Amino acid sequence: MFLMAFMILLAALLAVVVLHRVTKRHSSYSAYNLPPGNLGIPVIGQTFSLLQALRTNTDHQWFRTRINEYGLVSKMSVLGSPTVLLAGPAANHFIFASEDLILTQTRALRSLLRRSILTLTGDELKQVRSAVQGYLRPEMVRRYVHKMDEEVRRQIKLNWVGRDTVTVLPMARNLTLAVICSVVFGEDAAAMVEAHGSDFQLLGDAILSFPVNIPFTRFGKGMKASANIRKAMRRIVQRREESLLHQGFVVSSTDFITYMLVLRSKRVHSLTSEDIVDNVMGIIIGAHGTTSALITFMIRQLANEPDVLARITEEQDHIADSKGTGNALTWEDVSRMKYTWRVAMETLRIAPPVFGSFRTATKDIQYQGYQIPKGWKVFAAQSITHLDSRFFNEPTKFNPCRFENRSSIPPYSFLPFGGGPRMCPGTEFTRVESMVVMHYIVRQFRWRLRHKDEPCMKDPKPTPIFGLPVQLELRNPSTNLGA
Ligand code: HEM
Ligand SMILES: *[C@@H]1O[C@H](CO)[C@@H](O)[C@H](O)[C@H]1NC(C)=O
Ligand SMILES: *[C@@H]1O[C@H](CO)[C@@H](O)[C@H](O)[C@H]1NC(C)=O
């Protein structure tokens, strides 16, 4: 709700500020072969109508209508920028592969996260990207599985066991925040979550806000949260630097700060400690809202699909039976959760946490005979291919079996994690975390939705409007999870 108010304010202010500039620019496009479509009212364009569609979770229909009217390439105007909407697998490939398109972040995000993987460009980005990718690669995630397992069990014991109603989304958000913090902060995780858990939530909430630093606004609170987190993290970095000096850089801890300091000592990158701090925030922002959306929507789907729940339960019971009671899940256990992971992928298809990709053209570019001028935005929505019956038979049906044969899914039609050089580096982390969470939830509980068809909105992550309250029951009171 607040988001809407700020977006409206944003649009209105942008209108005033850039109206003059944009109208002048528009007249200079007469030599371009622009894609079809209209830019709507100057500056505001289709902003309100798209925001309204997101709010009512009808954005898919909104994009479809434009595609039916104008084809696979069309122009529109959203959030103060002329934007080309692209549709289909070829367009997805183009967006992820073109070197002339750069990732677009909101101004708010750039102020909040300063110099992180999400905001850097060029050589600096390359350094950060390879370090972050290295930290999240499968062999590394393998080393954090026991940490995730421990934190997931702790969270479930604390917040789920013994309650008969749980509101899933806020619980999932707290859980995924605790899990990513336990990994990136190592021994300081508990203290960080305790002191700054709500700061991380405020930071996440501020990303789409209007970037004027006024106290009590979403953005103002986000900036304050970001400063608080920075201050606490600087102290951690300093402590790690000191202890590394004493130990001569022979370390076994797997926290991100140690990892980055060790790489720097080997001259693999030249980031300052402040940059490292910014990147910790970037990773947490990338991980937290996305994985919690996945978990929330899996729990929602399972409440409506008893057959799918039965199959998952069978798979998870089988894995549990083959282990000693109370033993932490291992990477091998997670790799055996094949059906459960298909359910996760089917959830990502139907309710993708990131609804599309925004890019900015760094020079005039050509696409399918049209010209896209320098500075224009390019956008593709995942739902356009995820819900197209040419790529997914009966696309609105929840059917995890469609992922049994990955080669039956055409390239560039299923992209929950994006693609190309900016593809999400957190896929393996997501797989392990979501599988561990589902293991303990499915083994321990049965649940019923409090609102059978709870409406959703996109904020812009898919969000059940009441946060998905469920009635919870212990599945089998004798199940010993050894927590
Ligand atoms: C369900 C879970 C997740 C989904 C659906 C998801 C989706 C995405 C997508 C679509 C992008 C690319 C955006 C674009 O190209 O426009 C992205 C980038 C990113 N993700 Fe994820 N993500 C998930 C989990 C994670 C996790 C667990 C982490 C970290 C542990 C993470 C860290 C990042 C980072 C750092 C980037 C930026 C990469 C760059 O800018 O080069 N994500 N994610
Ligand atoms: C989630 O964490 C925040 C901040 O750490 C806390 O204030 C809140 O009560 C927690 N929410 C739930 C649902 O446990
Ligand atoms: C998987 O899908 C591809 C493409 O549709 C098909 O050619 C292949 O035979 C399928 N494989 C199996 C094992 O069903």
Rounded distance between C-alpha atoms, residue 212 and residue 208, angstroms: 12
Question: What is the distance in A from the centroid of ligand 3 to the CA of 410?
Answer: 11
CA 77 vs CA 108, 261, 412: distances in Å: 20, 44, 25
- pLDDT digit string, tens, across residues 200-234: 999 998 988 888 889 999 999 999 999 999 999 99
Q: How confident is the model at residue 483 (pLDDT cuts 50, 70, 90)?
A: very low
CA 346 vs CA 341, 400, 417, 450: distances in Å: 9, 5, 13, 23
* Ligand nearest, relative to CA of residue 129: 1
Contact 61, 71 (CB under 8 A): no
Rounded distance between C-alpha atoms, residue 413 and residue 400, angstroms: 16
What are the residue boundaries of the structural domains of the chain, listed by start?
A: 2-474
Question: What is the distance in A from the centroid of ligand 3 to the CA of 395?
Answer: 19
- pLDDT digit string, tens, across residues 33-82: 999 998 888 778 998 999 999 999 999 999 999 999 999 999 999 988 89
Contact 313, 358 (CB under 8 A): no
Burial degree of 372 (CB within 10 A; 0-12, 13-18, 19+): buried
Dihedral sign computed on CA atoms, order 17, 21, 27, 33: negative
- What topology does CATH give the domain 2-474? Cytochrome p450 (1.10.630)
Query: Residue 460 is which amino acid?
Result: P
Nearest atom within ligand 3 for CA of residue 405: 1
Cβ 198 under 6 angstroms from ligand 2: yes
pTM: 0.94
Question: What is the distance in A from the centroid of ligand 1 to the CA of 159?
Answer: 27
Cβ 373 under 6 angstroms from ligand 2: no
**For 409, which DSSP code?**
S
Question: What is the distance in A from the centroid of ligand 3 to the CA of 407?
Answer: 6
Query: Residue 243 is which amino acid?
Result: S
* Ligand nearest, relative to CA of residue 285: 1
Contact 111, 207 (CB under 8 A): no
Q: How confident is the model at residue 271 (pLDDT cuts 50, 70, 90)?
A: very high
Question: What is the distance in A from the centroid of ligand 2 to the CA of 193?
Answer: 10
Query: Residue 46 is which amino acid?
Result: Q
Which protein residue has the closest C-alpha to ligand 2 atom 10? 174
> Over the range 259-292, which residues count as b (16 or more CB within 10 Å of their CB) and which as e?
bbbbbbeeeebebebebbbbbbbbbbbbbbbbbb
Which protein residue has the closest C-alpha to ligand 1 atom 9? 417
